[in-house]
Chains A and B, each alone.
Chain A
Amino acid sequence: MSHLPLSRRGFLRGTAGLAGVTALSSLPLAARAADKLTVGFIYVGAKDDYGYNQSHAEGAAALKSMPGVTVVEEEKVAETVDVTKTMESMINFDGATLLFPTSFGYFDPFILELAPKYKTVRFEHCGGLWTDKDPKNVGSYFGYIDMAVYLNGICAGHATKSKKIGFVAAKPIPQVLENINCFLLGARAVDPSITCQVIFTGEWSMPVKEAEATNALCDAGCDVITAHVDGPKVVMQTAAGRGAYICGYHANQSALAPDKYLTGAEWNWGKVYTDFLTKVMAGGTIDNFVRGGLAEGFVKMSPLGPAVSDAARKQFADTQAAILKGGFSVFKGPMKDNTGKEVIPAGKVYLETDVALESMNYLVEGVLGSTS
Chain B
Amino acid sequence: MTDLGLWAVPVAILGGAIRVSTPFLFVSLGEVLTERAGRINLGLEGTLVFGAMAGYAVAYESGSAWAGVLAAALAGVIFGLLHGLICSLPKVNDIAIGIALMLLGTGLAFFFGTPYVQPVAPRLPAIDLGFWSGIPQVQAALTVNVLFLAGIALALGMAWMLRATRVGLILRVVGDSTDAARAMGLRPNAIRIGATAAGGAFAGVAGAYLSLFYPGAWSQGVSSGQGLMAVALVIFARWNPLNCVWAALLFGGAGALGPALQSVGLSEGYYLYYAAPYVLTLGVLIATSSPNRATAGAPGELSITK
Hey, which bits of chain A sit against chain B, CB under 8 A? 45-46, 48-50, 76, 162, 197-202, 205-213, 215-221, 223, 231, 233-234, 237-238, 241-242, 255-256, 368-370, 372
B12 at the interface (CB under 8 A from A): yes
The residues of B that contact A233 with a CB separation of less than 8 Å are 217, 219
Which single residue of chain A is at the shortest CB-CB distance from B222?
A207
Chain B min CB distance to A261 (Å): 13
A219-B263 contact given A50-B117, A237-B216, CB 8 Å threshold: yes
Please determine whether A370 and B268 come into contact, CB atoms closer than 8 angstroms. yes
16 A-B contacts (beta carbon < 8 Å): A46-B110, A48-B118, A197-B263, A200-B262, A206-B221, A207-B221, A208-B20, A211-B215, A212-B20, A212-B255, A216-B260, A219-B141, A237-B216, A255-B120, A370-B268, A372-B268
A212-B1 contact given A200-B267, A206-B224, A234-B216, CB 8 Å threshold: no
Partner of A212, one of B19, B140, B226: B19
Interface of A is mostly: mixed
The residues of A that contact B110 with a CB separation of less than 8 Å are 46
The stretch among B3-11, B32-40, B100-108 that forms the contact with chain A is: B3-11
The residues of B that contact A202 with a CB separation of less than 8 Å are 270-271, 274
Please determine whether A219 and B267 come into contact, CB atoms closer than 8 angstroms. no
Chain B CB count within 10 A is highest, among A210, A220, A234, A237, for A220
Please determine whether A238 and B271 come into contact, CB atoms closer than 8 angstroms. no
| Cβ-closest 4 pairs across A and B | A216-B259, A211-B215, A220-B263, A216-B263
- Given A216-B256, A216-B259, A218-B1, 10 more pairs with CB closer than 8 A: A46-B117, A49-B117, A50-B219, A209-B258, A211-B215, A216-B262, A217-B263, A219-B11, A221-B1, A369-B267
The residues of B that contact A213 with a CB separation of less than 8 Å are 259, 262
Which single residue of chain B is at the shortest CB-CB distance from A234?
B215
Could you tell me the distance between the alpha carbons of A210 and B271 in the complex, rounded to whole angstroms? 14
Chain A min CB distance to B138 (Å): 9
Please determine whether B219 and A49 come into contact, CB atoms closer than 8 angstroms. yes
Please determine whether B214 and A211 come into contact, CB atoms closer than 8 angstroms. yes
Please determine whether B16 and A48 come into contact, CB atoms closer than 8 angstroms. no
The residues of A that contact B274 with a CB separation of less than 8 Å are 202, 209
Please determine whether B224 and A209 come into contact, CB atoms closer than 8 angstroms. yes
Please determine whether A237 and B256 come into contact, CB atoms closer than 8 angstroms. no
Hey, which bits of chain B sit against chain A, CB under 8 A? 1-4, 8, 11-12, 15-16, 19-20, 110, 114, 117-118, 120, 137, 140-141, 210, 214-217, 219-222, 224, 226, 255-256, 258-260, 262-265, 267-271, 274
Partner of A219, one of B15, B216, B268, B270: B15
Chain B min CB distance to A278 (Å): 29
Partner of B262, one of A199, A205, A208, A223: A199
The residues of A that contact B216 with a CB separation of less than 8 Å are 211, 234, 237-238, 241
A205-B221 contact given A50-B118, A212-B259, A215-B140, CB 8 Å threshold: yes
Could you tell me the distance between the alpha carbons of A220 and B262 in the complex, rounded to whole angstroms? 10
The residues of A that contact B262 with a CB separation of less than 8 Å are 198-200, 213, 216, 369
Could you tell me the distance between the alpha carbons of A280 and B287 in the complex, rounded to whole angstroms? 66
Which single residue of chain A is at the shortest CB-CB distance from B117?
A48
